[in-house]
Amino acid sequence: MGLTTSKATPASITTTTSFTTQSEKFQYLQDCYDDRQDQLQRLNKKHSTPSPPNQGEGEEDQPVYTPTSITVENLKQWSDEFNEGDDSVKNRISLQALSQIGCISSMVKKLNNLNDGNLTDDVWTTEVETFKAPSYTATNNSGASWLYTALSLLDHQYVVKFDIKSAGRSSSQLSYKYLLFYDKLERSNHLLSKMIETSDFDLNSRVIQHLLNHNAGHWDMLINLITKYGLVPSTRYPDLSSGVMVEQLDYLLT
C-alpha cells in the first residue's frame, strides 16, 4: 500500500513508500520514531538542567516522551525565539521565502499589518442587511466549515446580546481564521503525539487511518478552542478573501 509521508518523516523515506512485508512497515515506523526522538533530544539539550551528581560519566539521559499541551507561555516563547532569537534573521528570510507559496503570501501580509497596527475598519457607502446571514458564511474551500457554522450562530447571538445592530452594524464579524490557526496548531500537536504512542500499530489499522484522515470538528472542540484562546473580531485578525488552503497549513505545521 502506498503512503504519502509528512514533513516530519526521516529524509531516508521517499515521498511515496510501498510496503511489501510487515518488517518494512515496522522499520518505517521505527525510523519515524527515531527521528522524533532526535528532535526531542535536541530540545532537551537546549533547555536542559544540570545532571544529578550520581549520573555516570559519559552517560546521557534518554528523552522520555510525555504528552504535552500548548500553553500561552509556549506561544510567547516561540514568538520571542522566532523574532528576537539568535536565528531571527534566518527566520525572517525563511518567512519571506515561504510567503511565495500560494495563500501564505497573503497570510504574511496580514500578519505584518496586524503587528504594525495598520488595520482599520472597512468603510461602506451602502450596507446590505445581513443580520441573519453573517458575511463569512461562504467557506471558501477552507476545509473547516464546522467553524464557519459555529461562528455564524455565535455571531447572531452576539449581535442580539450586545445590541450591535442599533449601533449601525448588522454583524459582529468574529474572526474565523483566528480560531482556524489555533485549531490546526492543536491538531498538529495531538497528531504527532498520537503517532508516537501508536508507533507499533499496523498502518492499515482503523486507529491509524482515523488519525491520518479525520479532520472534522465537534462541539467540544469548539468549546475548548474558545475557552483557551478566546474570540476576536475580524478587524483585529482579518479573514483572507481567498480563504486559507488548509493543505498548505497542515504541511507547514506537521
The 8-class DSSP code of residue 212 comes to: H
Please state, in angstroms and rounded to a whole number, the distance separating the CA atoms of residues 227 and 218: 14
How does pLDDT run across 25-74, given as a tens digit for each residue? 677 777 777 777 777 777 666 655 554 555 555 455 555 556 677 888 88
CA 61 distance to own-chain centroid: 30
| Sign of the CA dihedral with 39 first, then 76, 98, and 245 last | positive
Distance CA 78, CA 168 (A): 40
Average pLDDT over residues 161-187: 74
State the pLDDT at residue 10: 44
Binning pLDDT at 50, 70 and 90, where does residue 13 land?
very low
- Number of residues that make up the chain: 254
Q: Provide the grid cell at 125.
A: 457607502
Is 23's pLDDT higher than 60?
yes
More confident residue, 67 or 85: 85
Q: pLDDT by residue (tens digit) across 107-154?
A: 566 566 555 555 454 555 666 555 554 444 555 555 677 888 888 888
